[in-house]
């Protein structure tokens, strides 16, 4: 029996189309940068009409927001999938930093696209659209991990929100540095950063 009109099949097709356009946007952002990433160029890369992009997105800002959200989810899920969540929290943190550092090689295009959106997407008043609220889900997950470490006794007492923001800031700076210095060994950087962070929060 075929799916009814407007049912699951149509939803699947729409999700695939949106994903196709978002993937093309990542490619274009990586190749030509934010300013030159026009909807026409993205449509050509996706092999769709420009009108189809307007069907799914209200304009470039809407598309760029969707690309940033989708890309951040892809990157964070990729790191999370490689973690042993049953391991002691300090080991989880070290593995997470290594996984993040590996993104500089495995997901370079996605990182470039996200970086360019975060630094170029602004509201009508000129303020950045990708504020700290963009990371809220990430902060909450990190806070939960820090709290578990405190309960288990592997981490000392500290403000988990402050540490989550500090941790994410360190990850962002690491990725920016690795992008600018591709000669740097990602995991060596990650291990050095892990040592610094854990020396400050691990219970002695």
- pLDDT, tens digit (0-9, with 9 covering 90-100), for 179-204: 889 999 999 999 999 999 999 999 98
Q: Which fold has domain 66-201?
A: Tetracycline Repressor; domain 2 (1.10.357)
**Beta-bridge mates of residue 202:** 155
202 backbone dihedrals φ, ψ, rounded to 5°: -75, 140
- CATH 1.10.357.10 domain extents, the chain: 66-201
Nearest to 112 by CA among 33, 20, 40, 195: 33
Instruction: Report pLDDT for 204.
Output: 80
**Beta-bridge mates of residue 122:** 128
* Class of residue 68 by CB neighbours under 10 A (exposed 0-12, middle 13-18, buried 19+): buried
- For 143-192, write each residue's pLDDT tens digit: 999 999 999 999 999 999 999 999 999 999 999 999 889 999 999 999 99
Reported CATH class of domain 1-57? mainly alpha
- CATH 1.10.10.60 domain extents, the chain: 1-57
């Amino acid at each position: 029996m075929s799916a009814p009109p407007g049912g699951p099949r149509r939803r699947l097709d729409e999700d695939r189309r949106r994903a196709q356009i978002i993937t093309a946007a990542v490619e274009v952002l990586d190749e030509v940068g934010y300013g030159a990433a026009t909807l026409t160029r993205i449509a050509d890369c996706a092999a769709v009409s420009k009108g189809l992009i307007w069907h799914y997105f209200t304009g470039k800002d809407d598309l760029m927001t969707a690309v940033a959200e989708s890309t951040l989810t892809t990157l964070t899920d990729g790191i999370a999938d490689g973690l042993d969540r049953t391991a002691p929290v300090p080991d989880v943190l070290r593995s997470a930093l290594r996984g993040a550092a590996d993104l500089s090689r495995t997901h370079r295009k996605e990182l470039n696209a996200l970086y360019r959106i975060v630094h170029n997407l602004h509201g009508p008043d000129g303020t950045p659209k990708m504020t700290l609220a963009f990371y809220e889900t990430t902060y909450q997950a990190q806070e939960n991990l820090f709290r578990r470490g405190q309960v288990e006794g592997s981490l000392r007492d500290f403000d988990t929100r402050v540490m989550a923001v500090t941790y994410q800031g360190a990850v962002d700076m690491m990725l920016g540095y690795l992008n600018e210095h591709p000669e740097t060994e990602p995991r060596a950087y990650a291990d050095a950063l892990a040592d610094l962070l854990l020396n400050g929060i691990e219970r002695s």
